[in-house]
């Protein structure tokens, strides 16, 4: 969806809003397509001193495999993103500034970027997910396997060996 910002840039204090659903179902992430449901966007814009203050409430659902046990997890998110839209800038470094020289905003592109930048570094089914057994592949969240207890933290193991030597 492309938003026409001409009216907003015409004067100070002009307000506009837009509500829409974006389809990101084709977006691939690490081999999966996590956007299983339409992404709901409510955007509010207000012009001020030759720029436009842009605020978006974004509600989306991610369906992704857990990084440790690979179980599919479906989780809802609600986030807000704020940007300043400008027609020109001397400060290319400031990534809050979004350049819209044609006074048109590619809403899909902006929201997709916001959501992708906001993804958690690690996606877990639960905080203390025990993961899979590296030997037999059993999901340790469902109980231990015949291979025995989960291996100790490798960093602690190194420490233990050092202490034993001394
Ligand atoms: Zn997990
Ligand atoms: Zn095992």
Judged by its nearest atom, the ligand closest to the C-alpha of residue 143 is 2
Looking at residue 155, its pLDDT comes to 63
Distances (CA, A) of 44 to 74, 100, 146: 28, 16, 57
Per-domain boundaries in the chain: 2-128, 130-166
Looking at residue 153, its pLDDT comes to 59
Å from CA of 125 to ligand 2 middle? 20
Judged by its nearest atom, the ligand closest to the C-alpha of residue 134 is 2
User: What φ, ψ does residue 40 adopt, rounded to 5°?
Assistant: -90, 130
Looking at residue 87, its pLDDT comes to 93
Judged by its nearest atom, the ligand closest to the C-alpha of residue 148 is 2
Looking at residue 93, its pLDDT comes to 74
Model pLDDT for residues 19-51, shown as the tens digit of each residue: 999 999 999 988 889 999 999 999 999 999 899
Looking at residue 147, its pLDDT comes to 86
Looking at residue 156, its pLDDT comes to 60
d(CA 141, CA 150) in angstroms, rounded, equals: 11
Looking at residue 159, its pLDDT comes to 66
| Structure token pair of residue 98 | 């979004």
Q: Count Cα atoms within 13 angstroms, Cβ side, for 99.
A: 9
Å from CA of 144 to ligand 2 middle? 7
Å from CA of 67 to ligand 1 middle? 7
pTM of the shown model: 0.80
> Three-class SS string for the chain?
CEEECHHHHHCCCCEEEEEEEECCCCCCECCECCCCCCEEEEEEEEEECCEEEEEEEEEEEEEEECCCCCCEEEEEEEEEEEEEEECCCCCCCCCCEEECCCCEEEHHHHHHHHHHHCCCCCCCCCCCCCCECCCCCCEHHHCCECCECCCCCHHHHHHHHHHHHC
Pairing label, strands 97-99, 72-86: parallel
Regions of the chain short of the pLDDT cut 70: 92, 148-160, 165-166
Å from CA of 163 to ligand 2 middle? 28
d(CA 22, CA 58) in angstroms, rounded, equals: 10
């Amino acid at each position: 969806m492309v938003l026409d910002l001409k009216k907003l840039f015409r004067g100070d204090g002009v307000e506009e809003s837009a509500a829409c659903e974006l389809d990101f179902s084709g977006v691939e992430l690490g081999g999966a397509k996590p956007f299983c449901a339409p992404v709901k966007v409510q955007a509010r814009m207000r012009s001020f001193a030759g720029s436009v203050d842009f605020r978006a409430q974004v509600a989306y659902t991610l369906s992704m495999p857990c990084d440790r046990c690979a179980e599919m997890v479906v989780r809802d998110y609600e986030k807000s993103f704020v940007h300043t839209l400008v027609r020109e800038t001397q400060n290319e470094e400031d990534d809050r500034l979004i350049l819209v020289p044609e006074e048109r905003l590619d809403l899909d592109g902006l929201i997709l970027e916001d959501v992708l930048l906001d993804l958690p570094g690690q996606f877990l089914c639960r905080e203390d997910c025990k993961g899979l057994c590296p030997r037999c592949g059993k999901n340790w969240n469902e109980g231990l396997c015949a291979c025995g207890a989960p291996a100790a933290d490798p960093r602690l193991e190194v420490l233990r060996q050092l202490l034993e030597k001394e």
